[in-house]
Amino acid sequence: MSPDKADKKLVVGIGSALVDILARAEASCVERCGAVMGGMMLVDSHNHIENALATLPADRHIVPGGSACNTVMGIGRLGGRSRFVGKLGNDELGRIFRESLIKNNIEPALFDSDLPTGRVLSIVTPDAQRSMLTFLGASAQTHPDEINNGCLKDAAIVHVEGYLVFNRKLIEAALSAAKAAGATVSLDLASHNVVAQHKDLLQGLIRDFVDVVIANEDEAFAYTGHKDDERALEKLVANNKIGVVKSGPLGSIIGADGAVYRIRALGDGTAVDTTGAGDLWASGFLYGMAHGLTLEQSGILGSACGYEVCQVMGAAIPEQGWERIQNLLESFEEANK
């Protein structure tokens, strides 16, 4: 990070304000509900999600979500300063979402809509894979002009979720405003099928605006055409980018300025639910970047956050998990003195 950003630590997330509905089910339920295994599909009505829920087991969890929101929530729990930019409906789910941000010390930069608050049905299969149906609702109504309304002030890093490609004018405005604000611009590639559908647009956006590209192995393959993570990383780091390829239990790989860092995964590779794993990985990584950790340390912190969230349902790490992560963070801070 450049010297003029050294005194800034605020991370701003721009994305869809969504409420996650998590349900366990067998793999056969994924196709029956119209979802793509391991991917994300948009639906045009919240009734589609209600109808799918009617076919699934009754046990479910409801928590605030959305990719960029999950990431800044994690940064807040790490003790960092973060802000979330998005649009909500004037309904009960919107109230839950807003109160959750405030409770977790996240600065809300929220716009109101008459449409229902967006929601995601995340079907979690026995292998811990999650397949998503998303109703964007109010979140799809964020106007490009709203992004320029002071919501990026003092940002060290602006993190944009790749799902915003469904609103081309919005993602272009978000990335352009972030660059104009002098922030380091981070983009998460969202989902392999989203990348495949919008590859040309993403290539132009990354070339012109993005400093940090974060992808899992499927997204990296969809974007670069390479299954080998090192060859995929070479394409992601072109034009002086920082690139990340995450490979679940195989760990992750980070590239920048000609250097490559391999980050091992924690644990034995078992997971209860992978919902939010990539988002929380980004929490640790971006927190580390904003607070002066090395890229390798930032990656290890990201790996710890990703591991802990995979041990529970949903994208909320329990207190014991955060205690372990804080111990790791403190060891890095002590080593860097």
pLDDT 10s digits, 263-305: 999 988 888 888 889 999 999 999 999 999 999 999 999 999 9
Instruction: Supply the CATH number for residue 236's domain.
Output: 3.40.1190.20
Q: Is residue 29 part of a domain?
A: no
What is residue 159's three-state secondary structure?
Answer: strand
Query: Of 85-94, 184-193, 313-322, which range is least confident?
Result: 313-322
Quote the number of domains for the chain.
Answer: 1
C-alpha distances out from residue 42 to 24, 194, 208, Å: 20, 10, 27
Residue 42 lies in a domain: no
In a domain, 312, yes or no: yes
Q: Residues 231-239: what's their mean pLDDT?
A: 93
Q: Residue 3: is its pLDDT beyond 50?
A: no
| 58 in a structural domain | no
Residues 315 and 70 sit within 8 Å (Cβ to Cβ): yes
Only one residue has tokens 């060290």, namely: 156
262 has a pLDDT exceeding 80: yes
Contacts 24+ apart (CB under 8 A), 172-179: 172/144, 172/205, 173/144, 173/145, 173/147, 173/148, 174/14, 174/144, 174/147, 175/205, 175/208, 175/209, 175/210, 176/209, 177/147, 177/148, 177/152, 178/12, 178/14, 178/152, 178/209, 179/209
The predicted model scores a pTM of 0.89
Q: How do residues 104-156 score in pLDDT, each as one tens digit?
A: 889 999 999 999 999 999 999 998 888 999 999 999 999 999 997 789 999 99
Domain that holds residue 274: 9-17+66-116+138-335
**184 in Cβ contact with 207 (< 8 Å):** no
- Residue 40 belongs to a domain: no
Q: Is residue 31 part of a domain?
A: no
Mean pLDDT for 178-185 is 96
